[in-house]
Amino acid sequence: MNAEAMALHTDKYQINMMYAHWVNGTHNQMAVFDAYFRKLPFGNGFAVFAGLERIVNYIKQLHFDEEAIQYLAEQEEQYDPRFLDELRQLRFTGNLHAVKEGTLVFPNEPLIRVEARLFEAQLIETAMLNFMNFQTLIATKAARIRQVVGKDILLEFGTRRAQEADAAVWGARAAFIGGFDATSNMLAGQQFGIPTKGTHAHAWVQSFDTEEEAFEKFAKALPNQVSLLVDTYDTLKSGVPHAIALGKKLAEKGKRLQSIRLDSGDIAYLSIHAREMLDEAGLTDVLIVASNDLDENTISDLKAQGAQVDIWGVGTQLITAADQPALGGVYKIVALERNGEYHPTIKISGNPEKVTTPGKKDVYRIIDPNRGKALADYICLSEEDEVKQGTRIKLFDPMHPYLHRHVQDYETQVMLTPIFVAGELVYELPTLEEIRTYHKDQLQLFWPQYLRKMNPHVYHVDLSLATWDMKRKLLEEHMQELN
């Protein structure tokens, strides 16, 4: 998708709301919006925030070109031409704060805070959620798989099953953030500097009279990158023996067979016997790659069965997040400017989990300085200064207020970083390798019980007393009006 022509990467109701604000003269009114998600994906204990780089590029390039203006002029709403002139001049002039990519994040805490004219804040909602939701979902899935495989090598193989090219390329990037080591996608490699890896397909083997010939021809072409797919005909009777024979020939020439790949059958059984055969032949340094519709659950089961796999190629289940293909992040207005001051706003719902937390807020990660581990995330109103001054705070569960404790000695990590200020980019985008390193550091902040795949411990996201009181007060006021 062309980053320079994405103004219409939005829902029509955004354009209609912008038009209605313009007609009513409220389009320049300032507002604050929070982007967040309500529920962790995959039953995981955490999510991994991703997508910020694409959001930054989108906002930097945001404008309506003449082709977009002409398209809007043809809509059945028959927008006033003066409104279209307003769109021609539109650029993002607001403030945007966000958590850094690679950060471990949790439900109901602002991941992105937008402070801008309603005209601008409304427009960017759809694209921003699109980028955040997808990449955060894939990065989380990747991190979940990384937790299972430990130090094994992870390869992203999802391109052909992804929902189109953008999903493949940006999904590969998100997987790399979450802990994968390389991708098969060449465009992602070129665009982001991700290492690329690949072997060959069954079609290569079938293109020759014999499997043995196919392996020899491949090794002749790529003598320093020999990785062979051994399950085209019979893995243990044909594929592995032919790979071993070639491996010995390569060794005589000072070369080596790097790996064999298993893409079908009983991976645990086949890998165990393949490992025995390779070791008996003296090829102890040849690695075993496994693919074939893998995910964290399958890999966990294979490891429990003693599978002898060194490298895991994960495709469909990762790039489509097959067991939960949407994150469900939302974008809600939390404050509206009137007479030069922000007034908190709240959305009330019959579903308690959908009630928003009002006000312009900051988020801090509260860290035990003695153990270097996170205690909770703390959401407070931006004007509060207890955390900034390091004074005593009360941590309590908003859903169960009786669960609380006071913390006096703590360190903090500011979660919302300035990205755009008055429309100007003030944040230097880190390299992908820096994001990966930051993500690994983030993992070290949390006790293992929060990171485990099954039944993870719930990490608390707490509200300050002032934030809680404001929310409760607004709820009571609205209920009184209804009654």
Q: Which of 67-76, 175-184, 309-318, 395-404 has the lowest mean pLDDT?
A: 395-404
Given a cut of 80, is residue 2 above it in pLDDT? Answer: no
CB 49 within 8 A of CB 103: yes
Mean pLDDT across 278-299 = 97
Tokens of 80: 């006033």
Cα–Cα–Cα angle for 166, 168, 171, rounded to 5 degrees:
95
**pLDDT per position as a tens digit, 238-273:** 999 999 999 999 999 999 999 999 999 999 999 999
pLDDT tens by residue, 436-475: 999 999 999 999 999 999 999 999 999 999 999 999 999 9
Mean pLDDT of 28-54: 98
Q: Are 60 and 466 in contact (CB under 8 A)?
A: no
The answer, yes or no, to whether residue 415 has pLDDT greater than 90, is yes
Selection from 320, 316, 298, 319 nearest residue 307 by Cα: 298
pLDDT band at 14 (very low <50, low <70, confident <90, very high): very high
Q: What is the pLDDT of residues 208-238, one digit of tens each?
A: 999 999 999 999 999 999 999 999 999 999 9
Pairwise CA distance, residues 207 & 406, whole Å = 70
The ranges assigned to domains in the chain are 3-138+325-482, 148-319
pLDDT at 303: 98
State mean pLDDT over 109-125. 98
The CATH code of domain 148-319 reads: 3.20.20.70
pLDDT at res. 4: 65
* Whether the predicted pLDDT of 94 surpasses 70: yes
Average pLDDT, the chain: 96
Q: Is the pLDDT of residue 107 over 80?
A: yes
Across the range 139-156, mean pLDDT stands at 98
- Position 401 confidence tier, pLDDT thresholds 50, 70, 90: confident
Residue 1: its pLDDT value, please? 63
* pLDDT value at residue 307: 98
Beta pairing, strands 112-117 & 259-262: unpaired
CB 211 within 8 A of CB 242: yes
Using pLDDT thresholds of 50, 70 and 90, give the confidence band for residue 399.
confident
User: In terms of Cα–Cα distance, which of 45, 35, 43, 39 is closest to 107?
Assistant: 39
**Tell me, what's the pLDDT at 62?**
97
pLDDT digits (tens, 9 = 90+) for 291-300: 999 999 999 9
CATH class of segment(s) 3-138+325-482: alpha beta
Q: Is the pLDDT of residue 82 over 70?
A: yes
Q: Is the pLDDT of residue 397 over 90?
A: no
- The 3 state secondary structure assigned to the chain is CCHHHCCCCCCHHHHHHHHHHHHHCCCCCEEEEEEECCCCHHHCCCEECCCHHHHHHHHHHCCCCHHHHHHHHCCCCCCCHHHHHHHHCCCCCCEEEECCCCCEECCCCCCEEEEEEHHHHHHCHHHHHHHHHHHHHHHHHHHHHHHHHCCCEEEECCHHHCCCHHHHHHHHHHHHHCCCCEECCHHHHHHHCCCECCCCCHHHHHCCCCHHHHHHHHHHHCCCCCEEECCCCCHHHHHHHHHHHHHHHHHHCCCCCCEEEECCCCHHHHHHHHHHHHHHCCCCCCEEEECCCCCHHHHHHHHHCCCCCCEEEECHHHHCCCCCCCCCCEEEEEEEEECCEEEECCCCCCCHHHCCCCCCEEEEEEEECCCCEEEEEEEEECCCCHHHHCCCEEEECCCCCCCEEEECCCEEEECCEEEEECCEECCCCCCHHHHHHHHHHHHHCCCHHHHCCCCCCCCCEEECHHHHHHHHHHHHHHHHHHC
pLDDT tens, 377-395?
A: 999 999 999 999 999 999 8
402 pLDDT higher than 90:
no
Counting residues of the chain whose pLDDT is more than 90, the rounded percentage is 94
Residue 483 scores a pLDDT above 80: no
* Proportion of the chain above pLDDT 70, given as a percent: 99
